[in-house]
Homo-oligomer: A and B are copies of this chain.
Amino acid sequence: MAFQNICAKITDAFYLITHKRITADQDVNDVLLKTITFMPTHLLPTLIDDAFWKKLDKQDYMRVATFMAEKSYNEGGCPIGAVIVCRDTGRILGKGHNRLVQDNDPTVHGETAAIKDAGRIHFSNTDIYTTLTPCYDMCRPTINRLGFASVYIGYDLHGANKASEDWLKEQNIHVEIIPDQKYIDIYDRFCREKPHLNHEDWKNLTEADKEFGSAEH
């Protein structure tokens, strides 16, 4: 463990030396948001000026979630990403994507991955951005349990998930759709290409086999 800690500190130092600090005078654009997506979350306070965060709007945070989803798609996984943002500072405190395929783990959705990344914090002072409406049977109640202030959703399947969003509102959680067309295209493509995997992800393997046969798995 001590050895691992030393290795982690060397990696961090190397990262900090080789990456230029992001300051408030830089323009917010996709290249910069993608850079932030791939930065280790725990180094963000060191790598990014506090004033820079104030320049980001909801669409920008959703784009980071989209880049997370795109990363997962490129890895052969389910493209769902999420970002957790501090309501006071605008800092990203957690980010992640679905890891069903990557970790062989049905409990790591975009939202739970971002929560893991954030750790044991006061989620009541944060908002969560998720590219897709949180699943009924795990992420939605988890978001409620942890007491998030707001849920921003990139794709609500053209209104098909309205009941789920209404339920969150009834729990006094602010809910808003922040559509990201780049994400909508990625997710629709994924559903066409891997319907079995998509079904396994939001339901389970048995139901996916029933619906699509067990060949694809």
A204 lies within 8 A of chain B by Cβ: yes
Whether B205 lies near A122 (C-beta < 8 A) is yes
**In contact, A147 and B206 (Cβ under 8 angstroms):** yes
Per a CB cutoff under 8 Å, which of B106, B119, B122, B123 touches A120?
B106
User: How far apart sit A122 and B200, CA to CA, in the bound complex (Å)?
Assistant: 10
Tell me if A107 is interfacial: C-beta within 8 Å of chain B.
Answer: yes
Q: CB-CB contacts of A111-137 with B at 8 A, as 1s and 0s?
A: 010011001111111000000000111
* 7 A-B pairs whose Cβ atoms sit less than 8 Å apart in the complex: A105-B115, A106-B146, A122-B206, A122-B209, A137-B145, A138-B145, A147-B206
Report the Cα distance A103→B116, complex, angstroms.
9
Binding site secondary structure of chain A: helix
- Residues of chain B lying within 8 A (CB to CB) of residue A45: none
Which residues of B have CB within 8 Å of A121?
Answer: 205
A207 at the interface (CB under 8 A from B): yes
CA distance A122 to B207 in the complex (A): 9
Which B residues touch A108, using CB under 8 A?
116
Tell me, yes or no, whether A213 is within 8 Å of chain B by CB. Answer: no
**In the complex, A40 has a CB within 8 A of chain B:** no
With A and B bound together, what is the CA distance between A138 and B122 in angstroms? 18
B106 touches A115 (CB 8 A): yes
Q: Nearest CB to that of A105 among chain B residues?
A: B116
Contact B142 A138 (CB under 8 A): yes
Contact of A145 among B115, B119, B120, B135 (CB under 8 A): B135
- Let me know if A41 is at the binding interface, CB within 8 A: no
Q: A29 to B212, alpha carbons, bound, how many Å?
A: 44
